[in-house]
């Protein structure tokens, strides 16, 4: 078996003073942070599509990366080599999980059965890889957006014949995910949206999506797949409007179609910002509604209007994200999947290591910062103080629904103008900054 990263050995933790670009400076997998190890907290996953299939093409140019595993006489050989490369990489990186779309790991065949055979072949090899390396599957999914047949949608296509193909892919991808012991399964509806309202029956399409997800749930029960179902919000791109726009839109949809108990969200940083929200906001919205499931850990560029899918490096963002995740109890079936791609000029095989190392270190720092802030109640002090009047008799009665507008007015009449404490935002930001180190 070829070695694809011969110049790179297993990445080790060397501490913050190391000058070795191929070492972790902060991510120490076995280091305990508040009762769990860093590895247990962060549950990093490497993604197959960007890291092993994406060569750097963009709308203005072809791929640029050196990807020797794709050099092969036929597609199945390339698929096998890619699997080798991926597991070699993850092993050397020391990450616990991977994620894939069906079409990332095995090529589309001549028909549905041929495609299924391709997938099964690779999935068997992957099972062996998992056994040999200890790497686990965080989640699987089906690519229902790249093939031209999905151009008007998959579950929301204008023709149910297209949905039949989508169903076949989801069924097979669920089989594969179960077989590989995946913790979850993600639905990202890349083409579930519209290009123009002038030719779209939005209500009917959303009903179809609701139906389709129920069918997937039925199938999940049938095969006794115990993983978590996730849907992934994104507001736009490739379509003008994606139905799963943001965490709130997904929440509305899940409630309407009676899916809210069976689905959680896979929040992606760059998707949240494209929707006009901070990453932390969509995480918190999901957490508050008990639907925070997993995370696509990347970053965007808020001055650009498309999904740049950059590796996360900003310590503020990783710390704030981890603060929400820790407060929500940490990951159970989800994790931090690096849905991120190398910049188009990062063409060397080593760049993939640098990118992941930096991202893992950034999240390790974020974890430590978040843990410390929570432990010190550094922000909670301010929050508790700010809302303390809600613990009064008036506040408690209000929260229990025991007050009327008349009674509240009587209170206002009796007590005159309220005192509203300073929001102390600048001071709180200073305190947060004290933890950035």
Least distance from a second copy to the Cβ atom of residue 365, Å: 8
Least distance from a second copy to the Cβ atom of residue 132, Å: 29
C-alpha 30/C-alpha 341 separation (Å) is: 27
Q: Which residue, among 89, 136, 100, has the nearest Cα to 353 in the 3D structure? A: 89
Q: In the annotation, is 132 catalytic?
A: no
Least distance from a second copy to the Cβ atom of residue 123, Å: 17
The catalytically annotated residue of 26, 50, 102, 104 is 104
C-alpha 32/C-alpha 15 separation (Å) is: 15
Question: Nearer Cβ to a second copy, position 30 or 422?
Answer: 422
Question: Nearer Cβ to a second copy, position 37 or 387?
Answer: 387
Question: Nearer Cβ to a second copy, position 186 or 274?
Answer: 274
Least distance from a second copy to the Cβ atom of residue 149, Å: 6
For residue 360, what are its two tokens? Answer: 């893992």
Question: Nearer Cβ to a second copy, position 129 or 227?
Answer: 227
Q: In the annotation, is 348 catalytic?
A: no
Q: Which residue, among 341, 299, 343, 291, has the nearest Cα to 318 in the 3D structure? A: 299
Least distance from a second copy to the Cβ atom of residue 131, Å: 28
The catalytically annotated residue of 50, 101, 251, 356 is 101
Least distance from a second copy to the Cβ atom of residue 214, Å: 7
| Whether 158 contacts 204, CB under 8 Å | no
| Whether 24 contacts 358, CB under 8 Å | no
Which residues 6+ apart lie within 8 Å of 109 measured at CB? 115, 116, 117, 118
C-alpha 50/C-alpha 415 separation (Å) is: 61
Question: Nearer Cβ to a second copy, position 137 or 173?
Answer: 173
Crossing angle of helices 247-256 and 279-288, in 10° steps, is 30
Q: Which residue, among 287, 290, 309, 282, has the nearest Cα to 298 in the 3D structure? A: 309
C-alpha 271/C-alpha 320 separation (Å) is: 16
Residue 307 has what DSSP assignment? -
Taking CA atoms, 143 is separated from 56, 140, 200, in Å, by 18, 10, 23
Question: Nearer Cβ to a second copy, position 2 or 408?
Answer: 408
Triad 367, 92, 85: Cα angle to 5°: 120
| Whether 225 contacts 180, CB under 8 Å | no
Q: Which residues are identified as catalytic?
A: 101, 104
């Amino acid at each position: 078996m070829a070695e694809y990263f011969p110049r790179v050995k297993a990445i080790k933790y060397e501490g913050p003073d190391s000058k070795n670009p191929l070492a972790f400076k902060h991510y120490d997998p076995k280091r305990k942070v508040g009762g769990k190890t860093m590895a247990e907290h962060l549950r990093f996953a490497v993604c197959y599509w960007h890291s092993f299939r994406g060569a750097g093409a963009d709308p203005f140019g072809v791929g640029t990366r050196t990807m020797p595993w794709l050099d092969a006489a036929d597609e199945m050989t390339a698929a096998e080599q890619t699997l080798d490369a991926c597991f070699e990489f993850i092993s050397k990186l020391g990450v616990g999980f991977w994620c894939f779309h069906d079409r990332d790991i095995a090529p589309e065949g001549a028909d549905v059965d041929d495609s299924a055979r391709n997938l099964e072949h690779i999935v068997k090899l992957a099972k062996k890889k998992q056994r040999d390396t200890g790497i686990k599957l965080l989640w699987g999914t089906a690519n229902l957006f790249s093939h031209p047949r999905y151009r008007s949608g998959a579950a929301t296509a204008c023709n149910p014949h297209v949905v039949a193909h989508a169903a076949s892919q989801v069924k097979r991808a669920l089989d594969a995910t179960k077989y590989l012991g995946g913790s979850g399964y993600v639905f990202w509806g890349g083409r579930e949206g519209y290009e123009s309202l002038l030719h779209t029956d939005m209500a009917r399409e959303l009903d179809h999506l609701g139906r389709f997800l129920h069918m997937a749930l039925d199938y999940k029960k049938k095969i006794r797949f115990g993983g978590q179902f996730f849907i992934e919000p994104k507001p736009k791109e490739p379509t003008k409007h994606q139905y799963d726009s943001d965490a709130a839109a997904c929440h509305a949809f899940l409630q309407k179609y009676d899916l809210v108990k069976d689905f959680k969200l896979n929040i992606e940083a760059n998707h949240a910002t494209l929707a006009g929200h901070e990453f932390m906001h969509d995480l918190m919205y999901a957490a508050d509604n008990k639907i925070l499931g997993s995370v696509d850990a990347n970053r965007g560029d808020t001055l650009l209007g498309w999904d740049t899918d950059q590796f996360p490096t900003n310590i503020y963002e990783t710390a704030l994200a981890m603060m929400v995740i820790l407060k929500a109890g940490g990951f159970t079936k989800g994790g931090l999947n690096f849905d991120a791609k190398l910049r188009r000029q990062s063409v060397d095989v080593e760049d993939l290591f640098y990118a992941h190392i930096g991202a893992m270190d950034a999240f390790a720092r974020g974890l430590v910062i978040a843990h410390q802030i929570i432990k010190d109640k550094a922000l909670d002090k301010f929050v508790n103080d700010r809302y303390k009047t809600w613990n009064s008799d008036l506040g408690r009665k209000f929260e229990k629904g025991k007050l009327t507008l008349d009674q509240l007015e009587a209170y206002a009449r009796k007590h005159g103008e309220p005192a509203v404490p300073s929001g102390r935002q600048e001071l709180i930001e200073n305190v947060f900054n004290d933890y950035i180190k």
